[in-house]
């Protein structure tokens, strides 16, 4: 059997994904693997394009999440200042701030889930929101979520940087595949 890309060369192995022949050069040039085995140029190309779509979707979802969390965060600080300047107790101001932070946190999770079209009933925060019927329960949940809000924002930014690197790497692979 000859290489699918280079018809004058004999193949050394098969594409693990579609089964066409792969020559020595194609084997060395594979960017992606399937079952830890090389795949042909065409399948590499398909994989890179799939990744591009997948990474862009993830990137957009994380940016939306960051925006919602940031709005909640800034609103929380404004609420804190407003309550303090009205001479209410600092604990009340902190609780008001955490409530806003938590609202941003939970709203971002709900919206992100909808964007990804994934329904995950095991999510403790979401199912907690469904179960707590009383307004008091919701307030407690929002305040607890609010405590984790800064950590959440930090994590989203880290994730966005990571996905951005993945997008750049994948684009490099795509341009290399298109170049030859
Ligand atoms: Zn293939
Ligand atoms: Zn080849």
**In Å, how far from its chain's centre is CA 11?**
39
CA 25 / ligand 2 centre spacing (Å): 6
User: Per-residue pLDDT for the chain (180 aa), expressed as one digit of tens each?
Assistant: 899 999 999 999 999 999 999 999 999 999 999 999 999 999 999 999 999 999 999 999 999 999 999 999 999 999 999 999 998 999 999 999 999 999 999 999 988 887 766 544 555 455 555 555 578 888 899 999 999 999 999 999 999 999 999 999 999 999 999 886
If asked whether residues 141 and 56 sit together in one domain, one would say yes
Number of other CB atoms surrounding residue 23 within 10 Å: 21
In a domain, 174, yes or no: no
- Helical spans, DSSP H, in the chain: 24-28, 41-85, 90-116, 124-131, 135-179
In a domain, 47, yes or no: no
- DSSP label at residue 163: H
In angstroms, rounded to a whole number, what is the distance separating the alpha carbons of residues 88 and 24? 75
CA 161 / ligand 2 centre spacing (Å): 35
CA 80 / ligand 2 centre spacing (Å): 65
If asked whether residues 26 and 69 sit together in one domain, one would say no
CA 112 / ligand 1 centre spacing (Å): 34
Number of other CB atoms surrounding residue 136 within 10 Å: 9
pLDDT in tens, 76-108: 999 999 999 998 999 999 999 999 999 999 999
pLDDT in tens, 120-137: 455 545 555 555 557 888
pTM of this prediction exceeds 0.85: no
CA 6 / ligand 2 centre spacing (Å): 5
- Residue in 109, 119, 112, 107 with CA at minimum distance from that of residue 61: 112
CA 69 / ligand 2 centre spacing (Å): 49
In angstroms, rounded to a whole number, what is the distance separating the alpha carbons of residues 102 and 163? 25
CA 148 / ligand 2 centre spacing (Å): 52
- DSSP label at residue 88: -
Look at the chain and report how many structural domains it folds into: 2
If asked whether residues 98 and 130 sit together in one domain, one would say yes
In a domain, 56, yes or no: yes
CA 3 / ligand 1 centre spacing (Å): 11
Domain residues for 19? 1-39
**Residue 117 has what pLDDT?**
65
């Amino acid at each position: 059997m000859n290489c699918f890309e280079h018809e004058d060369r004999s193949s050394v192995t098969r594409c693990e994904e579609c089964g066409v022949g792969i020559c020595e050069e194609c084997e060395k040039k594979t960017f992606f693997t399937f079952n830890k085995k090389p795949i042909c140029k065409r399948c590499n190309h398909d994989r890179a394009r799939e990744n591009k779509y997948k990474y862009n979707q993830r990137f957009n979802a994380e940016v939306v999440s960051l925006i919602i969390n940031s709005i909640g965060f800034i609103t929380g600080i404004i609420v804190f200042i407003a309550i303090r300047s009205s001479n209410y107790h600092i604990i009340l101001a902190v609780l008001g701030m955490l409530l806003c932070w938590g609202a941003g946190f939970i709203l971002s999770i709900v919206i992100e889930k909808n964007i990804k079209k994934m329904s995950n009933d095991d999510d403790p925060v979401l199912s907690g929101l469904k179960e707590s019927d009383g307004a008091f329960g919701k307030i407690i949940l929002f305040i607890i979520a609010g405590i984790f809000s800064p950590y959440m924002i930090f994590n989203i930014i880290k994730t966005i940087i990571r996905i951005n690197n993945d997008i750049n790497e994948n684009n490099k692979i795509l341009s290399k595949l298109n170049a030859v």
